[in-house]
Amino acid sequence: MASKEDLPDWVEAALKHYGGGARLVDVAKYIWEYHESELRTSGDLFYKWQYDMRWAANQLRRTGKMKAADVSPTGVWELAKHTASVESCT
């Protein structure tokens, strides 16, 4: 069963999939496409995962894996340069 703690990895994988940066809606689409079944069986997380996805982005910012919101274009989440390398994203 998925938990809130899975979301930072999922957000990071989504951003890597999109080349290091993506609109929030594209990150949500990616997570839904690759983790729908996990979300559907995750209890309360199913109803709040998009809110928790934003929490995950803040966690990634605090750890230096994502750029600060004020240095990315409005509505775009971006990985910090050192984490944007191409890796398996599923």
For residue 12, give the CATH number of its domain: 1.10.10
Q: Does residue 89 form part of some domain?
A: no
Q: Does residue 85 form part of some domain?
A: no
Residue 90 has pLDDT above 80, yes or no: no
Structure confidence by residue, pLDDT tens digits, 1-48: 999 999 999 999 999 999 999 999 999 999 999 999 999 999 999 999
Q: Does residue 22 form part of some domain?
A: yes
Q: Does residue 88 form part of some domain?
A: no
Task: Please report which confidence band the pLDDT of residue 88 belongs to, taking 50, 70 and 90 as the band edges.
Answer: very low
Q: Does residue 32 form part of some domain?
A: yes
Per-residue model confidence (pLDDT) at position 83: 57
- d(CA 46, CA 21) in angstroms, rounded, equals 25
Four-CA torsion 15, 35, 26, 82, nearest 10 degrees: 0
Residue 14 lies in domain = 4-80
Q: Does residue 90 form part of some domain?
A: no
Total domains, the chain: 1
